[in-house]
Amino acid sequence: MSLGLLLTFFLTPDKHLVGNTNPDFFVLVTSIYLIINIAGLAIVLPKKRPFNVQQLFANFFIDIIVIIFITDSSGGISSGMGSLLVVIIAASSIMLKGQVAMLTAAMASILVITDTVLLTSSNQLDPSSSLAAGLLGIILFITSFFIQSLSQRILGAQQVANQRAVDVSKLQKLNRQIIQSMRTGILVTNSKGYLQMANEAASELLGNNTLNNAAKPVESHILHPKLMEQLHQWQQLPQFHTSPFRATATGPELQASFSSLSDNSSGDILIFLEDNRMAGQRAQQMKLASLGRLTASIAHEIRNPLSAISHAAQLLSESDDLDKADKRLSEIIHNHSKRMDKVIENVLQLSRRSAPNPENICLNEWLQKFIGEFDYNGGSEFNIELLTHQQEYNITVDSSQLNQVISNLVHNGLRYSFQNTNKATLTMDIHINPVTQLPVLDIIDNGVGIDEEAMKHLFEPFFTTELKGTGLGLYISRELCEANDARIDYVKTEHNKSCFRISFPHPNRRLAPR
């Protein structure tokens, strides 16, 4: 303002629009005011803390005095320069509250009236100018009152808005935590398949640990091709029932469902990913629960005659009156009796299976201890190679259940290796999955491997490729792995060797009893 007044003064030398009554005094006051403002900017701008009430009041007081001087040197109230006080009073009413704000309006009114009286007494103004000065004073008071009332309302609305913003932020944070902790995979995508958001469960199910960092639709965060295909089918036919799919060769079987987030077909789409194993597990658990109750109720009735048959066959085989063929038949009876007893014991073990008791262990040390204490066929010679790649791996599992799983896989691996090479050897390889960045244990044997047809039924109960097998070992191993949020898969290595791969969950995840 001061710079504008000075320019106006110097650009109208013939007939000054401002400062025409006392030009020298006008230039002096306006120049000092300009210097004060420039110095004030240099002081205020680097300052982080706002002024206190006293500093603000002093600032507005200086503004009022300077404007009164400018008005006086420009011809008094009739020049219209006094209207600049309205801006000063409005600003003071925003920054100052209550009596202090009204004090600035009173001071400005008194000074305007005083200056008008002095100019009138010196015959520089008409006596009627006193009415204009009084009206300006009233306007200043009305401005102060109105602006204070308006600013209080605005401040109240701002406080309410700030509080609601805090509440919304808390609600968003809570929703985000709930979504991230869900076991169901949640994806938000646009109609073209570019990801907007993904929770941790979706990242794990799809085998891509970068999904939950997707903050905006970018090329690297487009949907999985199989999921994209199902999305297009759903967009064409919303009643379309998707079929299960696998995102990776060793990943879980997934079931996707879709829901639109807006009435517009081109809007964002919400995708739910369910681990299809859960539904299968529930059905299988119901079957096993019924089987367990049935087995428990008749185990005594079966085992007693079975024990008698086995004992009688053993005694019969010791008779001297039997020929070689009859002894072979009694041996078959005895062996199959033992096999039936083992089947009953395994089924009873399934029905009695307790919830996991998770603990955080170092897998390297645990496997070294396991190998040192492992007993194969009553002390037969064997060799297990442990590869750790000079890195420690921490996991969270029930160590007793892990022991049962590893024992079963190691027994099978050593047996198949011996059948194929006459040497009971296998390799344990611990490494990090490059996709999920989670620890993985590969148990690799030197056997002949499993054909494609058998792989489809490998983990089904009572499925076996051996005459003496019960078909429950791998099924129990898979159940125990899933109870610990781990996953077991059968894969072929790059050298076409058989490999059972156990993928462990994040070591910081605590398992809830099932």
Q: What is the pLDDT along the chain (514 residues), one digit of tens a residue?
A: 888 888 888 888 777 788 778 888 888 999 999 998 888 888 877 777 777 888 888 889 999 999 999 888 888 888 888 888 999 999 999 888 888 889 999 999 999 899 888 888 888 888 888 888 889 999 999 999 999 899 889 888 999 999 999 999 998 888 888 887 777 888 888 878 888 888 888 887 887 655 655 444 444 467 888 888 888 888 888 877 778 887 776 677 788 888 888 776 667 888 888 877 666 666 666 766 676 666 666 666 777 787 888 888 888 878 777 788 888 888 888 877 877 777 677 666 656 666 678 889 999 999 999 998 888 876 678 999 999 988 899 999 988 889 989 998 999 999 899 988 999 999 999 999 887 788 999 999 998 888 888 887 888 877 776 766 667 788 888 888 888 888 899 988 888 889 999 999 888 765 444 4
For residue 44, how many C-alpha atoms fall within 13 Å in the half-sphere facing its CB?
Answer: 12
**Separation CA 302–CA 15 (nearest Å):** 125
CB 112 within 8 A of CB 88: no
CB 230 within 8 A of CB 220: no
- The 8-class DSSP code of residue 388 comes to -
Give me the pLDDT at residue 514, please. 43
Q: Taking the CA atoms of 198, 204, 205 and 206 in sequence, report the sign of the dihedral they define.
A: positive
Give me the pLDDT at residue 299, please. 67
Residue 13 in 3-state DSSP?
coil
**Separation CA 46–CA 48 (nearest Å):** 6
pTM over 0.75: no
Give me the pLDDT at residue 467, please. 60
Residue whose token pair is 């982080």: 48
For residue 499, how many C-alpha atoms fall within 13 Å in the half-sphere facing its CB?
Answer: 18
Judge residue 504's burial from the number of C-beta atoms within 10 Å of its C-beta, 0-12 exposed, 13-18 middle, 19 or more buried.
buried
Residue 443 φ/ψ, nearest 5 degrees:
-110, 105
Judge residue 422's burial from the number of C-beta atoms within 10 Å of its C-beta, 0-12 exposed, 13-18 middle, 19 or more buried.
exposed
Give me the pLDDT at residue 219, please. 44
- The domains found in the chain, sorted by start residue, are 2-160 (no CATH), 183-276 (3.30.450.20), 279-351 (1.10.287), 359-503 (3.30.565.10)
Give me the pLDDT at residue 160, please. 92
- Count CB-CB contacts under 10 A for residue 191: 15
